Structure 1
Amino acid sequence: MTAIPMFPLGSVLLPHMPLPLRVFEPRYLAMLRDILPDEPAEFGVTLIERGQEVGGGDVRTDIGTVAQVGSLDTSGEAILLIAQGVRRIRVDRWLEDAPYPRAEVTDLEEPAWSDDLAPLLARADLLVRRVLKLAEEAGEELRWPPDIVLDDDPAAAAWQLAAIAPFGPLDQLDLLRSPSIERLLSRTIDLVEDAETLYGV
């Protein structure tokens, strides 16, 4: 178990995905001051199930992702930060939110890739891009384009497909809990097929 700074959000960060943040709250500015001397500079991200990001008093999930700080822009009133999801964690115990949220966490075992899963990955890739294309044609504002390039590593690509698909945070939280790549891909496919029905497919 390790105690690390935490950044609860209203969204889910999956491994191998970028996390842009606009940091302006004094408690998170203090967090950045404390972690930036470390190499790598890391903090945990969990979903806020109830409540708000600003001001505390929220209810947070017990699983999250460690984010590694990549770049900083300090030229404006707020700090613009880009981090990257690197590994999953289980929150064993929340500590006092002073001066910022912290928790004792345990790293979760990374699910292993098997080449037998290649057809499942290919199907998930096809379906996710198809539903993104349908959403684009429907005039929806997309965070990720249908032709986005994924990681060459198949396990990383599986997480990225789950992240770019147009799911809500609770569905993405369910995917983050996946004990295996097979479950991650199968559940992604199920959710995408459900989403396709919204477009009459």
Structure 2
Amino acid sequence: MLLSMGYTIPMFPLSNVVFPFMLLPLHIFEERYRCLMEDLQDVDEPEFGVVLIERGWEVGGGEERASLGTVVRLLDSEEIEGGRWVAVTAGVRRMRVTRWLPDAPYPMAEVEDVKDLEAGDEGESLREAAYYAVRKVAALQAELGEPGAPLDFELARDPAIASYQACALSPIGPLDAQRLLVMDDPTARLWELTELLHEHIDSLELQLAAG
């Protein structure tokens, strides 16, 4: 569901999916994105778009990019040795690319914001199911000595926000993450994520049983 008229925004294609309400630290060394960081320093609300690279590489350009991604806001940034930048960003909202523009020198695109549908009656129960699935995965990963979500995490009461938070906390690959991101219905997103996590729980329990 579209939310607004189109606008132009800098773009930063990545090999990972960024969800709204997700923190994204960045270490920026490629020249064109160093220019982006410099240009954002004097902007009141510095934002850029992130889309998944579906085929190709982050460095050098020429990659195939997903059309739906996330607008992120620059929260903090610092230039470090060698002209590189470190930055902290946060996902704000979904957007869809309607037209790619020439690089300037970083990618630019015309985009439209995309709004979630209203959560249905099952939103609260699906939110709770996703919460316990994420927590179960995190507990099993901790038992196996693997990195995972903190066990004391919390999800927002709003099912749409909670769905993004749960996705960001979950050990899912970029293609599954993109499939979840493009869903307009937060209840469908929560249900699909929970199904993926139950499969992962089965796999982790087999690893534990095997010693």
What TM bracket, shorter-length normalisation?
over 0.9
Cα offset, 1:35, TM superposition: 2.6
Contact 1:87/1:110 (8 A) holds in 2: no
Amino acid at match of 2:88: I
> What pairs with 1:66-81 in structure 2 (closer than 5 Å)?
66-77=71-82, 78-81=84-87
Q: Which 4+ stretches in 1 moved above 3 angstroms?
A: 113-116, 149-154
Unaligned runs of 5+ in 1: none
TM-score (norm 2): 0.88
Counterpart residue number, 1:53 = 58
Amino acid at match of 1:187: E
Cα offset, 1:200, TM superposition: 3.2
1:4 to 4, 9, 12: 9
Counterpart residue number, 1:172 = 177
- After superposing the two structures, state which structure 1 stretch, 173-182 or 110-119, moved more: 110-119
Contact 1:43/1:67 (8 A) holds in 2: yes
Cα offset, 1:91, TM superposition: 0.9
Amino acid at match of 2:131: D
> What pairs with 1:1-201 in structure 2 (closer than 5 Å)?
1-77=6-82, 78-113=84-119, 116-142=122-148, 144-151=149-156, 153-200=158-205
Amino acid at match of 2:136: R
Q: Give the 3-state SS of the residue equivalent to 2:67 in structure 1.
A: strand
TM-score (norm 1): 0.92
**Residue identity (%):** 41
Contact 2:122/2:187 (8 A) holds in 1: no
Q: Give the 3-state SS of the residue equivalent to 1:8 in structure 2.
A: coil
Count residues with an aligned counterpart: 200
Rounded Cα–Cα distance in structure 1 between residues aligned with 2:116 and 2:43: 24
Rounded Cα–Cα distance in structure 2 between residues aligned with 1:150 and 1:74: 33
Q: Give the 3-state SS of the residue equivalent to 1:9 in structure 2.
A: coil
Rounded Cα–Cα distance in structure 1 between residues aligned with 2:156 and 2:123: 16
Rounded Cα–Cα distance in structure 2 between residues aligned with 1:148 and 1:174: 24
Unaligned runs of 5+ in 2: 1-5, 207-211
